[in-house]
Chains A and B, each alone.
Chain A
Amino acid sequence: MSAITSPARQASSGMHARTINRVIIYGLLALFAIFYLMPLFVMLVTSFKTMDEIQNGNMLSLPHAPTFAPWVKAWSEVCSGLTCVGMKGYFWNSIKMVVPAVLISTLLGALNGYVLTKWRFRGHTLVFAMMLFACFIPFQSVLLPMATILGSLGRFGVTLQNATGFNFGLGNSTVNLVFVHVVYGLGFTTLFFRNYYEAFPTELIKAAQVDGASFFQIFRRIMLPNSLPIIVVTVIYQFTNIWNDFLFASAYAGSGDVMPMTVALNNVVNTSTGVVEYNVNMAAAMIAALPTLIVYVVAGRYFVRGLMAGAVKG
């Protein structure tokens, strides 16, 4: 907290004016809190209502007889297109994609940041700038070549399978998505670690070098143990981004039982056979939202703090 004397407090002289001021401020803040909470609230209460109550009741009212049936149905029965097996398989698809992609991209980002700050070479700024620019490209500009490459890798995988009995993961949608997310996440992870390590005291590294510590020893014994805040930021950032990705997922794993959660949710919501079961749709959306929400609730404060340290400084 800074030592700023609140300007609002200073400007209003009388006790009375000050109270009115405070009431207005708190009123506005509460109003906006309602604005931000409303969609989540509606989603949550709807997911516990019966269809009957949804059609005849009020969107904002609490469920009269809360039921878990929509959640159960969303998890294990709901139809995505013509297959009705629930979201659970797609949920695991997403987990299987997110965990390796986050771990690999974070580790590579840490190593890159370490090299780009503590083992600088001629042209390190250019290398960093080129990796940084990759963060900002619209992925539409690489979508098609990547689809072509993944397609031919898949065909090569089939050949390999026939020849050796093992395809080394080529053509597997989950492996493909992990690869794509690692490649296009590297810019961000490198940026985070580079900015963080830039402020890390170089004297410590020097001392370790004099003592004969190697490149990896310094990384493992000195850098990593001191990197917890930035690891938290990077992992949260990558986790939310990859879990929430829709473009790559729909382009490279857009149908069948290999879909990640976001694509499956979109299909579920747009499946229009018979009556649209809004409660089940909302439960499915909540299931898709829960992992990232939990991460934000548990570790969000570290995320904002860490990200601000890097982002606002520039």
Chain B
Amino acid sequence: MSTVAETQIKLTPEHDAHPGASVRSRLQDLLPKIVLAPSFAATIVFVYGFILWTIYLSFTNSKTFPSYDITGARAYQRLWRWTFESDPPSSWYTSITNMGIFGFLYILICLALGLFLAILLDQKIRGEGVLRPIYLYPMALSFIVTGVAWKWFLDPGLGLEQTLHQWGWTSFHFDWIKNKDFVIYTVVIAGVWQASGFIMAMFLAGLRGIDGEIMKAAQIDGATTFQLYRRIVIPLLRPVFLSAFIVLAHLAIKSYDLVVALTSGGPGGSAWLPSNFMYEFTFKRNEMAVGSASAVIMLMTITAIIVPYLYSELREKSR
């Protein structure tokens, strides 16, 4: 692709032949940069500038209002102490443990289910055009709507439990959404429901992109279906796995609305994720410095995942 850019540059010097029109042509040369500048400036200020601002705040003792006297890493020390305060669990301990459980299960189940559905749908299915949008539509809904729907569905007195009782299965018991030890798993269920169809679509596109000749060759060599998928298809889908992982990881760390709408934070804040912790401490509990510090930790976690990915992607492309 870099060759394209070089030819572009070689094209422009024709303006230099007419020095009379130089102001105009200089402007023409600068125009692309002028067009890009506002967006880039906005990114610098409102993304990177604001991140620095948040980092700064995390080193102050800001409470309800921002204060700009640096008072050291007290907020981080408190978070560090809370990290090990498991009995009774501190809000921070609950948030990060939940993040671990939710992140792990959400990503794993979405990948597994997405791949499984994609493979099933790739078996020359009649009605694929009907099934695909059915699997995919939850992605169009807001987390708030998803939360409202699943809250109703999982409510022991109204939803699934009640329905099965009416059908005669009276010993069925499912109250995870009201149970502080299990409420995070209901967030996993709703989250998987929402995102797995999209992951399916990504894998399906990947499967359709695989060269048919490779498959045929393997079949001629006598590979069984299972071997074919395990040894050939799934390794070929590695780039899709990576893209899907990135999408899911950043959705997982950003999940805030789902917890709010589905569980209202759960009994005693037992469903909190770090994003909920940040919001509550910053805007409700007047602990702005602690809230900022937790935001910085979230950002660092995402950065550790994203930056290597972006680096390898962009380097590959510019080659």
Q: Do A and B come from one complex?
A: yes
Residues of B within 8 A of A296 (CB): 133, 136-137, 139-140
Asked if A156 is an interface residue, CB under 8 A from chain B, the answer is: no
Asked if A224 is an interface residue, CB under 8 A from chain B, the answer is: no
What string of 1s and 0s marks CB contacts (under 8 Å) between A254-288 and chain B? Answer: 00000000100110011000000010011001001
A38-46, A78-86, A160-168: which one contacts chain B? A38-46
Whether the pair B295, A140 counts as a contact (CB closer than 8 A) is yes
Whether the pair A36, B137 counts as a contact (CB closer than 8 A) is yes
Q: Given contacts A33-B135, A144-B288, is CB(A262)–CB(B257) below 8 Å?
A: yes
CA distance A11 to B123 in the complex (A): 12
Q: Contact check: which of A143, A216, A314 meets B317 at CB < 8 Å?
A: A314
Q: Contact check: which of A29, A202, A214, A311 meets B7 at CB < 8 Å?
A: A202
Separation in Å of the A115 CB from the closest CB of chain B? 4
CA distance A295 to B49 in the complex (A): 35
B86-94, B101-109, B176-184, B302-310: which one contacts chain A? B302-310
CA distance A261 to B47 in the complex (A): 26
CA distance A73 to B200 in the complex (A): 38
Q: Given contacts A42-B152, A186-B42, A281-B148, is CB(A138)–CB(B134) below 8 Å?
A: no
Beta-carbon contacts under 8 Å, A97-153 to B:
108, 111-112, 115-121, 124-125, 127-134, 136-146, 148
What string of 1s and 0s marks CB contacts (under 8 Å) between B114-158 and chain A? Answer: 000100111111000001111111111111111011111100001
Asked if A59 is an interface residue, CB under 8 A from chain B, the answer is: yes
Q: Contact check: which of A129, A139, A281, A282 meets B314 at CB < 8 Å?
A: A129
Asked if B299 is an interface residue, CB under 8 A from chain A, the answer is: yes
Whether the pair A285, B145 counts as a contact (CB closer than 8 A) is yes
Separation in Å of the B33 CB from the closest CB of chain A? 6
Beta-carbon contacts under 8 Å, A9-52 to B:
9-11, 25-26, 28-29, 32-33, 35-40, 42-43, 46
CA distance A42 to B77 in the complex (A): 47
Residues of B within 8 A of A124 (CB): 5
Residues of B within 8 A of A187 (CB): 43
Residues of A within 8 A of B48 (CB): 130
Residues of B within 8 A of A68 (CB): none
Residues of A within 8 A of B186 (CB): none
Which of chain A's residues has its CB closest to B190's CB? A39
Asked if B28 is an interface residue, CB under 8 A from chain A, the answer is: yes
Q: Contact check: which of B47, B140, B229, B295 meets A292 at CB < 8 Å?
A: B140
Whether the pair A198, B134 counts as a contact (CB closer than 8 A) is no
Asked if A204 is an interface residue, CB under 8 A from chain B, the answer is: no
CA distance A29 to B294 in the complex (A): 42
Residues of B within 8 A of A25 (CB): 120, 123, 125
Q: Contact check: which of B202, B208, B307 meets A311 at CB < 8 Å?
A: B202
Q: Contact check: which of B1, B36, B124, B264 meets A112 at CB < 8 Å?
A: B36
Q: Given contacts A39-B150, A146-B50, A251-B283, is CB(A270)–CB(B253) below 8 Å?
A: no
Whether the pair A312, B205 counts as a contact (CB closer than 8 A) is yes
CA distance A202 to B283 in the complex (A): 50
Separation in Å of the A269 CB from the closest CB of chain B? 5
Residues of A within 8 A of B63 (CB): none
Whether the pair A246, B144 counts as a contact (CB closer than 8 A) is yes
The chain B residues found within 8 Å of chain A, CB to CB, are: 1, 4-5, 7-9, 11, 28, 31-33, 35-36, 38-40, 42-44, 46-51, 53-54, 57, 66, 117, 120-125, 131-146, 148-153, 158-160, 162-163, 166, 193, 197, 201-202, 205-206, 208-210, 212, 215-216, 219, 224-225, 228-229, 239-240, 243, 246-247, 250, 253-254, 256-257, 260-261, 264, 275, 278-279, 282-283, 288, 291-292, 294-296, 298-299, 302, 306-307, 310, 313-314, 316-318
The chain A residues found within 8 Å of chain B, CB to CB, are: 1-11, 25-26, 28-29, 32-33, 35-40, 42-43, 46, 54, 58-60, 108, 111-112, 115-121, 124-125, 127-134, 136-146, 148, 183-184, 186-187, 190, 198, 202, 206, 209-210, 214-216, 240, 243-247, 251, 262, 265-266, 269-270, 278, 281-282, 285, 288-289, 292-293, 295-297, 300-301, 304, 308, 311-312, 314
Closest 9 CB pairs of A and B: A244-B142, A119-B32, A308-B205, A120-B5, A246-B257, A142-B50, A39-B149, A296-B140, A145-B50
Known: A39-B193, A262-B257. 5 other contacts (CB 8 A): A5-B212, A137-B51, A141-B295, A186-B42, A314-B313
Q: List 14 A-B contacts (CB under 8 A).
A: A10-B225, A29-B121, A141-B51, A144-B53, A145-B50, A206-B11, A262-B144, A278-B152, A285-B149, A296-B140, A300-B133, A312-B240, A312-B243, A314-B313
